[in-house]
Structure 1
Amino acid sequence: MNESIKGAWGYRHVILAIVWLLYLINYFDRISVLTFLPYIQKDLSLNAIQLGWLASIFFFGYSLAQFLAGYLADRIGPKKTMNIAIWVFTIITGLTGLVRNYWQFIFLRLGLAVGEGQHFAPAIRMIANWFPRAEKGRANGFFSTTWAVAPAVVPIAVTQIAAVFFDGAWRPVFFALAVPGFIGAFLLWRYVNDSPKVMYERGKVTKEEYDLIVSSVDVEATEHGKTYSAKVFLTDIQFYLYTAGLVMVLMIYWGMTTWISTFLVKQHGMNLKTMGFYASLPYIVAFFSMFIGGWAADKWFEGKPKVVTVISFLGCIPTLYFIGQVPKGDTNMLLLWLAVGGFFVNLSWGMMYSFPGWRYPKELVGRAVGVSNGVGQFGAFLSPLVAAYLVVELPDKSFDFGGVFIFWSLLAIVGAVAISFLKEESILAQTAGAKEATAA
C-alpha cells in the first residue's frame, strides 16, 4: 500500500462529511427541546418530576429502537435505514410546535425517539464500511463531534431565533427545524452508498483508496463468502465491559445535556440569552476534546486506546462534583468548571464508538452497536429521571442540583473501573492467535 494514500482526501471523507451533517440535523430538534425545557415547563405548568419524565421518556423509546436499527443496518443496509429515520424525525419535529399538554408531548417524544433511534447504528456501520482500521478512531472522533457541535450551536441559535424573531416563543422554532431534514434526505439519496466497491465501479473511488479501505482484516468478508453470527460478540466478555462503560458515558452525557439549561435558569437565575451561551460552552470545548481523543487513540495510545476513556472518566469525577457546588453569582468559576467538564465528559467518544469496528468484523458492527447502544441509551433514560428525583426544589421555586452532580461523579468511577479491564484487539486476530498457540 502506497503510504501517501493513507490519510489523503478521498470519497470516504465525502461519505463521512454527509453522515456527520445528517446526524447534526438529527441532534438539532432533540437539543432544542432540552434547551427550551424551563420555558416548556412554565408554558405547560409542569413540576420537576414531570419535567424529568418528559426529558427521559425519549431515551426509553430511543433505547428500544437501537436493537431494530442495528438489525436493519446489517440486513437492508445503513443508507435505507437512515432514510427511514430522517423522514420520521423530520415530520415529528415540525409537529412538536403544535403540542398543547403534557401527554401530547410524551407521545411526540416517543415518536421522535423511534425515528431518531434508527439513525445511530447505521451511521456507525457506514463508517465501518468506508474506513480502514487505522483510521477508525479519527473517523469516529470526527463523527462524534456532532454531539458537541449541536449542543454548542443549538442553545445559542434557537434562543436567539426565539428572542429576535418570535418574541421569546419556542413553538415556531420547531416548524423551522423541519426544513434541514428534507435537505438531508436529498443528500443521502444523491451522494451516499453503503458499499465502497459500488462507488469504485462507478468511478467515485480510486483503486488506491479502495485498496486502502479493504486493507483491514475481513473488511469485505461477505464478498468472500464469509458470514458471522451475533454469537461472536454476545459470547465475548469484552463486549459486556465495553457496554458497561458506554452506559456510564451516556448516563453522564445525557444527564448533563438534559438538565444543563434548567440548571442554569433554576439554580443560577440566568435569563434566556445568557443561558444559551453558558449551556453551549461545554460543547464548544467538547468539539476540540473529541478531536483530541480520537487522534490520541490512533496515535499516542495505538493498541491501547482505552487509556483515553479512562482519563476521561477520571477527569469527570472531580469536575462534575465542582460544577454542582459553584455558588450562585460566581460566573467566572462556573465558566471554568463548565469548560473543564465539557472537555472530560466528551474526550472518549472517538474511542468508545470505534471499539465495535476494532473488535468485530464489519458484518457485525450494526448489530453490536445496536445492542450496546440500546442498553446504553436505557442508561440515558434513567439518568435524567434519577436526576429529577435528586433535584431539591427550594421555597423560592429555584432548584439545587448539588446531589445530581455527585450522582454523575459516582457514575464516572464505575465507568473507569469497567474500561480499565477492556481489550481492544480484534476478536478474529485473538482467536487466530489462540489457535496458533494451541497448535504449537
Structure 2
Amino acid sequence: MGQMKTVGKKAWGYRYVILVAVWLLYVINYFDRTSVLIFLPMIRDELGLTPAQAGFGASIFFFAYAIAQVSGGWLADRIGAKRVMTIAIVVFSAVTFLTGMVRSYVQFIWIRLFLGFGEGHHFAPAHKTIADWFPKKEKGTATAFFSTAWAFGPAIIPVVITALAAAFGSWRPVFYVLAVPGLLGMFILWYFVNDKPEEMVKKGRMTQEEYDYIKSGLVSDEAVEGKKGGMSIVVKDKYFWIYSLVLFCNLAIYWGSTTWISSFLYDQHHFNLKTMGALVSLPYVVAIVAMLLGGRLTDKIFKNKTKPVLLISYIVSIPVLFYVGMVPTGNVPIIITMLVLLGFFVNLSFGAVYAYPQIRYPKDIVGSAVGLSNGFGQLGSFVAPLVAGFLVVKTTSGYSYTGAFIFFAALAVLASIGTLFLKEDKFIMNNQSVKSSSTSL
C-alpha cells in the first residue's frame, strides 16, 4: 500500500507521456476546426453569405461531429483507440488542406461536414485512452489537463493564423499550412501511445509499479468487464441521459460563444483583424487556468464529485453571458473584463463534465459512454450556433449579438437545473439490471 502511494505521488510516469501526447494531438485538431471560425467574417464576405448561412455552415460541422462521436466511441471499444485516432487525423488533415480551395457555399457546407466527421472520430478514443491509463482518483485532473487543449488551441490560434493570413495576404494559404501538423500528429500517436499499459511495461517504457498503481485504481465491474455491448448497457441508466442533457447545454454554450465571438467583436464592436485576433484569444488564455482548477477541485476538494464544480460554473455563467452582448460599443475595458469572466466560468466545468463518465462507468464501456453522450451533447454544438445566427440582428451601425448571448445564458440555466439531478455513484450492472452503489470505489 505504501509503495502504491509512492508511485501515485511520483513526479512523472509514462501515463503523463500518454496524456501529453493525446493533448498535443487535440491541439492539432483544434487548429483545424477553430481557424474556420476565426476567418468566418472574411469567408462570409468573400462567398457572399448571410449571417444565417454562415451560422449554418459553422453549425453543420457539429451535426457530422455528433454522429461521428457515437461511431468513434463504438470503434474505440472494438478495434482500439489508437487506430481510430489515426483514421481521424488522416481525414481531418486532408480536409483542412481542401478548405483553402473553397469557392462556393455548397463547397463550404461539404467541407464542414467532412471535417466534422473526421474530427468527430478523435474525441471518444482520446477519452478512452485516458480512462485506460489513469486511476479514478486522478481522472478529474487528467481530464482537465486534456480539456485545456480546447482552451490552449483557441488562445494561440487567432494570433498565429491572423499573422499568417496577414503575411500571405489571404486566409486561403493558411489552411494549406495547417495540414502539415497532421503528419507530426501521426508520428506522435504511433511512437508514444498504446491502448494497453501492459504493452509499455513489456517495452521497458513504464515500470511494473506504475502499471500496478494504474490497474488498482481503474473503474471496473465484473458484470461488464470484457463485454462489447457498451451502448446497450449505458442507455439503461437514466442518469446517463440527464448527464447527456447537461453536456448538450455545456457544449452549446461553449461552441455557440466560440463560433460567434470573433464576428461579435468584428461586427458589433468594429475591431480590426489584428485587434480582434488578440481579443478572441483572451477568454481561452483564462480558460486554461479555469479548466485546470476545475479538475483539481473535482479530485482534491470535492473528492471525485463533479456536481459542485458544474454548479459553480453554470450558475455564475448565467449573468456573465447575459451581459456580454449588452456591452456598449467601444467600451474596451468592460469588453475585456467580460471576456475574462466568460473564459473563466464557461470553461471551469470541462474537467468535471468529462470526468463524470470516467468516474461513473467501467473502463470496458467508457468509450461507448463517452461517444454516445458526446454525440448527443454535440448536437448542442450544432444547434447553438445555428439558433444564434438567426438571433443576430442587423443594425444601422453593423450587427447586434445581444439576443444570441441571452440565448446562451438561458442554456446555462437549463444546465444548472439538470446538474442538480445527476447521480455520481459508481454504475453497476448485475443480472441485466442497473443500480448505483451507495459508495464509490
After TM superposition, give the deviation of residue 15 of structure 1 in Å: 0.4
Q: Give the whole-Å Cα distance in 1 for the aligned partners of 2:238 and 2:436.
A: 17
After TM superposition, give the deviation of residue 428 of structure 1 in Å: 2.7
Q: Any conservation in 2 of the 1:74–1:367 contact (CA below 8 Å)? A: yes
Residue 104 (structure 2) pairs with residue 101 (structure 1): yes
Residue 414 (structure 2) pairs with residue 414 (structure 1): yes
Structure 2 residue aligned with 1:438: none
Residue 29 (structure 2) pairs with residue 26 (structure 1): yes
Structure 2 residue aligned with 1:379: 380
Structure 1 residue aligned with 2:288: 287
Q: Any conservation in 2 of the 1:222–1:363 contact (CA below 8 Å)? A: no
Q: CA RMSD in A?
A: 1.8
Q: 1:223 to 1:38 in 2, by over 3 A?
A: closer
Q: Any conservation in 2 of the 1:218–1:361 contact (CA below 8 Å)? A: yes
**Residue identity in the other structure for 2:168:** F
- After TM superposition, the structure 1 stretch with the greater mean CA deviation from structure 2, 219-228 or 60-69, is 219-228
After TM superposition, give the deviation of residue 218 of structure 1 in Å: 5.1
Deviation track 1:319-377 (CA, whole Å, cap 9, x = no partner) reads 01111110000000000011001000000111111111111111111111111000111
**Residue identity in the other structure for 2:70:** F
Structure 1 residue aligned with 2:276: 275
**Residue identity in the other structure for 2:400:** D
After TM superposition, give the deviation of residue 432 of structure 1 in Å: 7.8
Structure 1 residue aligned with 2:185: 184
Structure 2 residue aligned with 1:239: 240
After TM superposition, give the deviation of residue 189 of structure 1 in Å: 1.1
Residue 102 (structure 2) pairs with residue 67 (structure 1): no
Structure 2 residue aligned with 1:162: 165
Structure 2 residue aligned with 1:305: 306
- After TM superposition, the structure 1 stretch with the greater mean CA deviation from structure 2, 171-180 or 235-244, is 235-244
Q: Give the whole-Å Cα distance in 2 for the aligned partners of 1:274 and 1:166.
A: 18
Deviation track 1:143-196 (CA, whole Å, cap 9, x = no partner) reads 000010111110111111111x112x1000000001100110011111110000
SS of structure 2 residue aligned to 1:230: helix
**Residue identity in the other structure for 2:8:** K
Q: Any conservation in 1 of the 2:290–2:347 contact (CA below 8 Å)? A: yes
SS of structure 2 residue aligned to 1:428: strand
Structure 1 residue aligned with 2:210: 209
Structure 1 residue aligned with 2:297: 296
Alignment gaps of 5+ in structure 1:
436-440
After TM superposition, give the deviation of residue 226 of structure 1 in Å: 6.3
How many pairs were matched up? 432
Q: Any conservation in 2 of the 1:62–1:377 contact (CA below 8 Å)? A: yes
Q: 1:325 to 1:215 in 2, by over 3 A?
A: same
Structure 1 residue aligned with 2:428: 428
Q: Any conservation in 2 of the 1:221–1:227 contact (CA below 8 Å)? A: no
Residue 121 (structure 2) pairs with residue 118 (structure 1): yes
Q: Give the whole-Å Cα distance in 1 for the aligned partners of 2:229 and 2:291.
A: 31
Q: 1:232 to 1:402 in 2, by over 3 A?
A: same
Structure 1 residue aligned with 2:145: 142
SS of structure 2 residue aligned to 1:117: helix
Q: Any conservation in 2 of the 1:303–1:425 contact (CA below 8 Å)? A: no
Q: Give the whole-Å Cα distance in 2 for the aligned partners of 1:235 and 1:224.
A: 17
Residue of 1, 4, 7 corresponding to 1:5: 7
After TM superposition, give the deviation of residue 205 of structure 1 in Å: 1.3
Q: 1:433 to 1:98 in 2, by over 3 A?
A: closer
Where does 1:272-421 land on structure 2 (aligned, <5 Å)?
A: 272-396=273-397, 398-421=398-421
After TM superposition, give the deviation of residue 227 of structure 1 in Å: 6.5
SS of structure 1 residue aligned to 2:190: helix
After TM superposition, give the deviation of residue 305 of structure 1 in Å: 2.3
Q: Any conservation in 2 of the 1:228–1:363 contact (CA below 8 Å)? A: no
Q: Give the whole-Å Cα distance in 1 for the aligned partners of 2:223 and 2:239.
A: 24
**Residue identity in the other structure for 2:174:** V
After TM superposition, give the deviation of residue 221 of structure 1 in Å: 6.1
Residue 54 (structure 2) pairs with residue 51 (structure 1): yes
SS of structure 2 residue aligned to 1:214: helix
Structure 2 residue aligned with 1:14: 17
Q: Any conservation in 1 of the 2:81–2:128 contact (CA below 8 Å)? A: yes
Q: Any conservation in 1 of the 2:131–2:363 contact (CA below 8 Å)? A: yes
After TM superposition, give the deviation of residue 199 of structure 1 in Å: 1.1
After TM superposition, give the deviation of residue 216 of structure 1 in Å: 2.3
SS of structure 1 residue aligned to 2:325: helix
Q: Give the whole-Å Cα distance in 1 for the aligned partners of 2:239 and 2:404.
A: 30
Q: 1:293 to 1:246 in 2, by over 3 A?
A: same
After TM superposition, give the deviation of residue 231 of structure 1 in Å: 3.5
Q: Give the whole-Å Cα distance in 2 for the aligned partners of 1:216 and 1:243.
A: 25
**Residue identity in the other structure for 1:278:** L
Q: 1:36 to 1:226 in 2, by over 3 A?
A: closer
Q: 1:405 to 1:218 in 2, by over 3 A?
A: closer
Deviation track 1:109-167 (CA, whole Å, cap 9, x = no partner) reads 1011110010000000000000000000000000000010111110111111111x112
Q: Give the whole-Å Cα distance in 2 for the aligned partners of 1:370 and 1:363.
A: 13
SS of structure 1 residue aligned to 2:403: helix
Q: Any conservation in 1 of the 2:224–2:364 contact (CA below 8 Å)? A: no
| TM-score w.r.t. length of structure 2 | 0.95
Identical residues among aligned pairs (%): 50
Structure 2 residue aligned with 1:194: 195
Q: Give the whole-Å Cα distance in 2 for the aligned partners of 1:59 and 1:115.
A: 11
SS of structure 2 residue aligned to 1:408: helix
**Residue identity in the other structure for 1:32:** S
**Residue identity in the other structure for 2:202:** E
Q: Give the whole-Å Cα distance in 2 for the aligned partners of 1:79 and 1:268.
A: 44
SS of structure 2 residue aligned to 1:249: helix
**Residue identity in the other structure for 1:234:** V
Q: Any conservation in 2 of the 1:323–1:334 contact (CA below 8 Å)? A: yes
Q: Any conservation in 2 of the 1:214–1:220 contact (CA below 8 Å)? A: no
Residue 156 (structure 2) pairs with residue 153 (structure 1): yes
After TM superposition, give the deviation of residue 232 of structure 1 in Å: 3.0
